[in-house]
């Protein structure tokens, strides 16, 4: 496969169809506007924003982050065409196409459980709550492949502060959307739906834990978890839930979907750990997408600053 660096790809190459559709919409709008003027109708409705948000919309005012790795960024084409997203398909190449028309607006997120004020927030309200940062993180899938992605978002701790969890809250549970009409994978039962994930409170409030709504300078593509996902870089990829609709604070450890479906293979913690193998394969090495030779996997995926969260814990038992 001949892949260029994402920065070298002209936007016309990434999204010719979007641009084309945009231009068409614009021209239809112009014609309609002309007609509206002719009959004396106001332009107000014609200028209302589209119901869907295009993946290639730029995100402005993004700050760089000291948490970013300087490793080579994985090409955009790979990160948007090789996905784990079981709500759409168990095939890694299919989500890109199947998620194309997935509706990410309007989108509400319920914040409830052990919080001072339960509330339902519009995703755009959440997106605007804190300054967006670009975080170039390594991402290691439990299946042995890895990527380096310039995500855009802010620390989940910012949202948690505003949600005001009570002193009883010890875990956060994330529930993702259930909509089998839009998500063909949910019409089958490869997993129990909706997809649920969870973090311990200190993991959720760790500054590395990212509430993510963009990547590569743009709005998150649907297949990568639009409109809102989690990115927890020291854990296996499945902890980073996509398309979140509910954030619940609880005093009990949530039963995450993968641990529920195969408790002997996937645990709650799922920290990247080259010394604890998956029962069916080694976790000592990984293949970076686009590379030929495998590279060694690092403890906590190289994010040593989280080690103190697990001091005194047996990570072979708490896998
Ligand atoms: N809702 C939901 N979130 C999900 C998944 C999924 O199937 N459904 N797959 C997980 C897994 S296994 C991985 S490796 C990452 C993949 O994210 P990416 O496609 O953006 O690389 O998403 C995670 N989040
Ligand atoms: Mo994964």
pLDDT tens-digit series, residues 64-83: 999 999 999 999 999 999 99
Residue 317 lies in a domain: no
Distances (CA, A) of 122 to 35, 111, 175, 227, 260: 34, 11, 16, 11, 30
Task: Answer yes or no: is 7 within a domain.
Answer: no
Per-residue pLDDT, averaged over 172-178, amounts to 99
Specify the CATH number for the domain of residue 135: 3.90.420.10
Q: What is the pairing mode between strands 218-219 and 210-215?
A: antiparallel
Summarize pLDDT for 239-266 with one digit per residue, the tens. 999 999 999 999 999 999 999 999 999 9
Quick check: is 76 in a domain?
A: yes
Ligand 1, atom 4, lies closest to the CA of 241
Token pair 């927030």: residue? 121
pLDDT at 13 over 90: no
User: What is the number of the ligand closest to the CA of 221?
Assistant: 1
Residue 301 located in a structural domain: yes
Provide the domain count of the chain: 1
Region 289-305: mean pLDDT is 97
Residue-wise pLDDT tens digits, 218-228: 999 999 999 99
pLDDT band for 185, please (50, 70, 90 cuts): very high
Indicate the DSSP class of residue 159.
Answer: H
Residue 32, pLDDT > 60, answer no
The answer to whether residue 154 is domain-embedded is yes
Question: Does any ligand 1 atom lie closer than 6 A to the CB of residue 195?
Answer: yes
Is residue 134 one of the residues assigned to a domain? yes
Non-local (6+) Cβ contacts of 128 within 8 A are: none
171, part of any domain: yes
Give residues with Cβ within 8 angstroms of 309, minimum separation 6.
200, 202, 203, 206
pLDDT, tens digit (0-9, with 9 covering 90-100), for 116-144: 999 999 999 999 999 999 999 999 999 99
For the CA of 137, the nearest ligand: 1
Residue 260 CA, ligand 2 centroid: distance in Å: 16
| Alpha-carbon span 272 to 220, nearest angstrom | 24
Report whether residue 224 contacts ligand 1, using a CB cutoff of 6 Å: yes
Nearest atom (ligand 1) to Cα of 141: 14
What pLDDT score does 49 carry? 53
User: For the chain, what percent of residues have pLDDT higher than 90?
Assistant: 82
pLDDT of residue 51: 65
Is 281 a residue whose pLDDT tops 60?
yes
Distant-in-sequence, close-in-space partners of 164: CB < 8 Å, separation ≥ 6: 115, 116, 117
Per the structure, the complete domain to which residue 72 belongs is given by 15-308
Provide, rounded to the nearest whole percent, the portion of the chain with pLDDT above 70: 84
Q: Give the separation between CA 261 and CA 134, rounded to whole angstroms.
A: 33
Mean pLDDT of the chain: 89
Q: Which residues surround ligand 2, an ion (CB under 5 A)?
A: 84, 141-142, 237-238
**Is 256 contained in some domain?**
yes
pLDDT at residue number 20: 30
What is the CA(79)–ligand 2 centre distance, in A?
13
Tell whether ligand 1 has an atom less than 6 A from the beta carbon of residue 231.
Answer: no
């Amino acid at each position: 496969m001949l892949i260029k660096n994402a920065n070298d790809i002209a936007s016309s190459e990434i999204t010719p169809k979007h641009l084309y559709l945009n231009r068409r919409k614009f021209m239809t709008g112009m014609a309609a506007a002309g007609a509206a003027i002719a009959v004396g109708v106001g332009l107000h409705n014609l200028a209302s924003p589209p119901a869907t948000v295009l993946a290639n919309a730029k995100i402005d005012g993004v700050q760089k982050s000291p948490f970013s790795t300087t490793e080579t960024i994985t090409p955009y084409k790979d990160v948007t065409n090789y996905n784990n997203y079981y709500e759409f398909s168990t095939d890694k190449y299919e989500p890109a196409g199947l998620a194309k028309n997935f509706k990410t607006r309007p989108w509400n997120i319920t914040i409830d459980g052990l919080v001072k004020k339960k509330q339902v927030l519009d995703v755009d309200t959440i997106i605007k709550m804190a300054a967006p940062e670009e975080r170039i993180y390594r991402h290691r899938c439990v299946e042995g492949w890895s990527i380096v992605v310039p995500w855009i978002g802010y620390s989940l701790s910012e949202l948690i502060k505003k949600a005001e969890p009570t002193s009883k809250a010890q875990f956060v549970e994330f529930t993702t959307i259930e909509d089998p009409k839009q998500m063909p994978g949910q019409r089958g039962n490869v997993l129990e739906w909706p997809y649920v994930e969870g973090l311990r409170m200190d993991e959720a409030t760790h500054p590395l834990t990212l509430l993510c709504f963009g990547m590569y300078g743009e709005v998150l593509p649907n297949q990568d978890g639009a409109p809102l996902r989690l990115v927890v870089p020291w854990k296996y990829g499945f902890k980073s839930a996509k398309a979140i609709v509910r954030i619940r604070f609880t005093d009990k450890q949530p039963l995450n979907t993968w641990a529920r479906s195969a408790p002997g293979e996937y645990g709650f913690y799922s920290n990247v750990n080259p010394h604890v193998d998956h029962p069916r394969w080694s976790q000592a090495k990984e293949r970076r997408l686009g590379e030929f030779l495998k590279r060694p996997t690092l403890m906590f995926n190289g994010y040593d600053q989280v080690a103190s969260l697990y001091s005194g814990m047996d990570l072979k038992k708490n896998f």
